[in-house]
Structure 1
Amino acid sequence: MELEEEKTLKDYLQVARRRKYTIIVPMLVLLLISVVVAIALPPVYRSKATILIEQQHIPSDLVKSTVISFADERIQQIEQKLMTIDNLNKIIEKFGLYPNEKKLLTSSDLAAQFKASTTLELINADVVGKGKSSKATLAFTLSFDHKVGSTAQKVANELVTLFLDENIRSRTERAEESTKFLQEEAEKFKVEIQKSENQIAQYKEKYSSSLPELLTVNMSSIARIENTLQQLQLQEKMLEERRISLGLQISATSPVVVDGGDGKNAKVESRASIEAEYHSLLKKYSSTHPDVKALKRKIEGYEEQKNDKSTNSQANINNPVYLQLQSEINVAGVEQKNIGQQKIALTEQLKKLEVNVSQTHQVERGYYDLMRDLDNQKAKYKELIAKSLEAKLSQNLEVEQKAEKFSLLEPPRVPEKPEKPNRIKILFVGFLFSIIGGLGAGFVAEAMDNSIRNHNVLTHLTGAEPLVVIPYIENQEDLNKTRRNKINFAILILLLLAGATVAIHFFYMPLDVVFNRVSDRLSTLL
């Protein structure tokens, strides 16, 4: 029923008195449940290790490490590598963890339970550099929870060992991979350099006479050959004039000396004299002039006459002057022939040199392209060799553990006290919930009760004041009942205090010690 009058403190005390059992019983039940939960929950021990991240011992300006990832990233990567189902199940088998759960759970569920018992926490610090604030990971903690303290310490130590070994292995492996990669790339460039050198050698062999470095030699050779040709032409001209002169002289000289004469009156025309006259006329007239044609026919017919009369003529020639002139004409002819052959050879050589010079610029372009590629490859090869040596130093740095490394600052120890559950907290929360539950039960019972407890309610319902209010008169039975309630309440208080003492005792004393003491007491009694 709904009442509009305001309740006073006295009314609430009366309600508490009336509903004392409705309030106390739920309070006791909830408090008992919290005590049972606080005592019954198995203790969980935590073994924790602290691992320090040491910076590189040798200055990075002297030797740079090939591992450039941040420490927190590397820690997360190592955690992902180690916390696989296969690795975790090997650890579970090694230390005999979760013997009861193995019958009910799969390997994945066991690994998930192991992960839930493992905690990794980073220890960061604020670092100010170059006007910017950032966080740097200085260390990290690795812990494992288990109901047996010694087992927790063994598993935590195993995890720490795996972390340290994996960090060394991963850093060394990364340094080796960097060194191997750079060496392989250097070898590739070495092969490319050899190919380029072979191409240049073939190119130089193909255009051996048109190479840029031979341009000066070719130009000087052309100038020298042209000068030689000019000299040969001058010599040829002089020989031609000499032959003409000798031809004129021999035409005026008799080949035979007649009876003591000097031979100047007997004339026999020779081929040399006719040719000399022919060349003399060519300088005055063209090749179509009648006199020139007549001399040309005479030269052509001279060879036939010479074959018929050569024996008689040679036998009849006895003029030494004629013979001398004829010999000089023959020598001049031989020299002219030699000069002609030299001119032909030099002209061919000049043409080749001119072709070589004309190709030089095109050959130079292709040659410089090949040389530029070769120079670039050599520069890249030198750069890779230098980087390979640096990577080798970095690898030695990792192998000798002179680079950034994980150092065990605080090894995992056997815990003396359980990490959880927090029994005091459970008891305190249970105590609060028991009070709330008891008061709530009393409030609900009072709200559902429609009984009239005082004259104010009666006045509100009837609209009229009662004539007389008779107070409740306690008899002996009521007094005895009140006394018994006080005794029961005192006993309840004592039980609560005893329960709290036992809970505190269990919290501060390891559970295995309690079990040992209980077993010793039972053996003594038996």
Structure 2
Amino acid sequence: MADEHRSPLSGIHTLLSAIRYRYRLIIFVAVALLAAGVTYVMSMPDVYQSSTQILVNPQRVSDKYVNSIATMDASERLNTLSQQILSSSRLETIMDELHLFSNLREKVSRDELIARMRKNIGIELKHNSEGLSAFTLSYTGDSAQEVADVANRLAASFISWNLQDREQEAKGTTTFLANELATTKSQLDDLEEQLRSYKMKHLGQLPDQLDANMQTLSRLQVELQANTEAQSRLDREALLTSSLPDTSTTHAPATPSSIRQKLTADKNAAQADLVELHKHYTDSFPDVGRKEAEIRSLDAQIAALPSDPISSAATETVTANPRLQLIRRDRARLQEEQRKIQGSIGLYQSRIDSAPVREQEISQLLRDYGTARDHYRALLEKTYSAQMAAQLEQEQQGGNFTMLDKARVPEAPIGPKRIPLLLGAFFFAIAAGIGVALLAETLDNTVKSEAELRDCLPDIPLLGTTPGMQTVPIIRRGLPQSRFLLGGQ
């Protein structure tokens, strides 16, 4: 029941009472912590920061003339370079070159030093409408000269590694294209040799020679017809000559032409008609078939004739006639020419017939050759472009990084912020002193007020209170100075 009648201000009154009662403890704890905080803040080393700005240059030569072979934009390249340069091996090299953390090398492992160095490096990117335009590289440390040296060393590493990376990329592309070009050229040479061998093997049967073969075949057919007609004329002339009496031989009887000569003349005429039909019709035409059957029938009739002694005598008579001898020589020559013409006609006819097959075979070779040739030309153009791009990178005319200003030695530290830290230490010391006083008050079991007594003995009625007894020094501090002086007398 006592807790229900307690005032809300009793807790604040208790707190103020504890502060008044233990103010010496509060002052002691606050002063001790404040002294320790001030000592720590003032002993903290100064922190310096030095930075440099690196400009991302676009390619100086227009893409219309030389295409860049860089596969990454500036942001991706910067990310890759950051991973390379901020690697443990690179940072360890810089740390050894500049003798960083010389006072901590015996106390801390190298991995921790590299992690601390990586943490002190800052990269801030700046973009425009076209992408990455520049970035700021900074380094933080406890030495002004050291932070400037490290920032400049890191900036130089970024620039040199960017150039080296682009040159290696250009050389790698050029080498790859050169190898591909050599392989493609070898394949192209093989296909050219195959195509040349095929053309030499099937010379005269190629599709592009079809028109020439057709013209030659027509010319040979005309020649065959003329030859057949010439033989027919010679046969008629031989018949007329053989029917006349021979003036040089009075005893040679004048015999008529034999059946063999007539059949031969009919065969020559039929062959002339067949040549004429071939000019206008194919072998499947009925007239062509009938004419060929007629020629075969005449050949069979000539072969079936028996030897004629009269014909032999006539032959001897013909041999004795000079005119007939000339006619026989001319006819033999025409027959030889006829065989040659017929052989040529058969050859060119076979070439014409095989043209579709040759066209199908050579089309595959030409298609493979054309594909290899186009690929070779494309690789050749790319190789020339890659060589120009590599030359451009070697002359540093491609897109690269440029340090605008070197990192300078900072004149003033950027930290620590001692005034805010001191204020924080002051308020922390006061709060800690009050906290210690409250803790001591909580741990103290003595009764210091009527409320505490009622809380300890809720069932026992309170009869009365006695005023607190004050010591002499406290009484004297409470009395006026004049009264104190009178009491001394």
| TM category, shorter | 0.7 to 0.9
CA distance in structure 2 between the aligned counterparts of 1:444 and 1:153, rounded to whole angstroms: 51
Length, aligned pairs only? 441
CA distance in structure 2 between the aligned counterparts of 1:326 and 1:52, rounded to whole angstroms: 114
Tell me if structure 2 keeps the 8 A contact 1:53–1:138.
yes
- 1:327-380: per-residue Cα shift (whole Å, max 9, x none)? 112111111211111111111111111111112222223333333333333333
CA distance in structure 2 between the aligned counterparts of 1:448 and 1:476, rounded to whole angstroms: 28
Partner of 1:42: 45
Partner of 1:19: 22
The question of 1:121 aligning with 2:139 is answered no
Any idea what SS the aligned residue of 1:103 has?
Answer: coil
Report the CA distance between 1:138 and its aligned residue.
2.9
Report the CA distance between 1:297 and its aligned residue.
5.1
Report the CA distance between 1:15 and its aligned residue.
1.5
Question: Which residue among 283, 296, 315 is the counterpart of 2:308?
Answer: 296
Tell me if structure 2 keeps the 8 A contact 1:397–1:403.
yes
Quickly say closer, same or farther: Cα 1:375–1:141, change in 2 above 3 A.
same
Quickly say closer, same or farther: Cα 1:479–1:182, change in 2 above 3 A.
farther
Tell me if structure 2 keeps the 8 A contact 1:143–1:156.
yes
Paired-residue identity, %: 22
CA distance in structure 1 between the aligned counterparts of 2:351 and 2:338, rounded to whole angstroms: 20
Q: Which residue identity lines up with residue 268 of structure 1 in the other structure?
A: A
CA distance in structure 1 between the aligned counterparts of 2:426 and 2:57, rounded to whole angstroms: 49
Any idea what SS the aligned residue of 2:138 has?
Answer: strand
CA distance in structure 2 between the aligned counterparts of 1:360 and 1:407, rounded to whole angstroms: 68
Any idea what SS the aligned residue of 1:101 has?
Answer: coil
The question of 1:268 aligning with 2:271 is answered no
Question: Which residue among 85, 109, 114 is the counterpart of 1:111?
Answer: 114
Counterpart mapping for 1:155-234 below 5 A: 155-234=150-229
Quickly say closer, same or farther: Cα 1:439–1:400, change in 2 above 3 A.
same
> Over the residues paired in the alignment, what is the CA RMSD in angstroms?
3.6
CA distance in structure 2 between the aligned counterparts of 1:479 and 1:418, rounded to whole angstroms: 56
CA distance in structure 2 between the aligned counterparts of 1:208 and 1:476, rounded to whole angstroms: 140
Tell me if structure 2 keeps the 8 A contact 1:244–1:277.
no
Out of 229-238 and 58-67, give the one that drifted further.
58-67
CA distance in structure 2 between the aligned counterparts of 1:115 and 1:80, rounded to whole angstroms: 11
Quickly say closer, same or farther: Cα 1:210–1:445, change in 2 above 3 A.
same
Partner of 2:238: 243
Partner of 1:475: 472
Report the CA distance between 1:282 and its aligned residue.
8.7
The question of 1:279 aligning with 2:276 is answered no
Out of 88-97 and 437-446, give the one that drifted further.
88-97
The question of 1:464 aligning with 2:461 is answered yes
Any idea what SS the aligned residue of 2:378 has?
Answer: helix
Q: Which residue identity lines up with residue 398 of structure 2 in the other structure?
A: A
Partner of 1:416: 411
Report the CA distance between 1:194 and its aligned residue.
3.1
CA distance in structure 2 between the aligned counterparts of 1:297 and 1:422, rounded to whole angstroms: 147
Out of 52-61 and 438-447, give the one that drifted further.
52-61
The question of 1:428 aligning with 2:434 is answered no
Quickly say closer, same or farther: Cα 1:473–1:126, change in 2 above 3 A.
farther
Report the CA distance between 1:218 and its aligned residue.
0.9
Counterpart mapping for 1:75-94 below 5 A: 75-94=78-97
Quickly say closer, same or farther: Cα 1:481–1:83, change in 2 above 3 A.
farther
Any idea what SS the aligned residue of 2:50 has?
Answer: strand
- 1:232-285: per-residue Cα shift (whole Å, max 9, x none)? 1122122222223322324xx5765xxxxxx5xxx5348xx4764653589999
Tell me if structure 2 keeps the 8 A contact 1:247–1:274.
yes
- 1:434-472: per-residue Cα shift (whole Å, max 9, x none)? 223222211222222232222343345355344455255
Partner of 2:434: 439
CA distance in structure 2 between the aligned counterparts of 1:281 and 1:466, rounded to whole angstroms: 176
Q: State the TM-score, normalizing by the size of structure 2.
A: 0.78
CA distance in structure 2 between the aligned counterparts of 1:269 and 1:426, rounded to whole angstroms: 157
Counterpart mapping for 1:285-364 below 5 A: 296=308, 298-299=310-311, 326-364=321-359
Unaligned runs of 5+ in 1: 130-135, 257-262, 307-321, 483-526
Tell me if structure 2 keeps the 8 A contact 1:278–1:295.
no
Unaligned runs of 5+ in 2: 267-296, 480-489
- 1:276-311: per-residue Cα shift (whole Å, max 9, x none)? 46535899999999xx967625556999xx7xxxxx
Tell me if structure 2 keeps the 8 A contact 1:189–1:381.
yes
Partner of 1:501: none
CA distance in structure 1 between the aligned counterparts of 2:352 and 2:263, rounded to whole angstroms: 42
CA distance in structure 1 between the aligned counterparts of 2:464 and 2:151, rounded to whole angstroms: 82
Partner of 1:52: 55
- 1:365-403: per-residue Cα shift (whole Å, max 9, x none)? 333333333333333333333333433443344334333
Report the CA distance between 1:139 and its aligned residue.
2.2
Q: Which residue identity lines up with residue 102 of structure 2 in the other structure?
A: P
CA distance in structure 1 between the aligned counterparts of 2:305 and 2:402, rounded to whole angstroms: 117
Question: Which residue among 25, 28, 32 is the counterpart of 1:29?
Answer: 32
Partner of 1:494: none
CA distance in structure 2 between the aligned counterparts of 1:236 and 1:116, rounded to whole angstroms: 111
Q: Which residue identity lines up with residue 169 of structure 2 in the other structure?
A: R
Tell me if structure 2 keeps the 8 A contact 1:46–1:415.
yes
Q: State the TM-score, normalizing by the size of structure 1.
A: 0.73
Q: Which residue identity lines up with residue 85 of structure 1 in the other structure?
A: S
Q: Which residue identity lines up with residue 18 of structure 1 in the other structure?
A: Y
CA distance in structure 1 between the aligned counterparts of 2:53 and 2:85, rounded to whole angstroms: 18
CA distance in structure 1 between the aligned counterparts of 2:62 and 2:261, rounded to whole angstroms: 97
Q: Which residue identity lines up with residue 203 of structure 2 in the other structure?
A: S
Report the CA distance between 1:10 and its aligned residue.
4.2
Tell me if structure 2 keeps the 8 A contact 1:255–1:323.
no
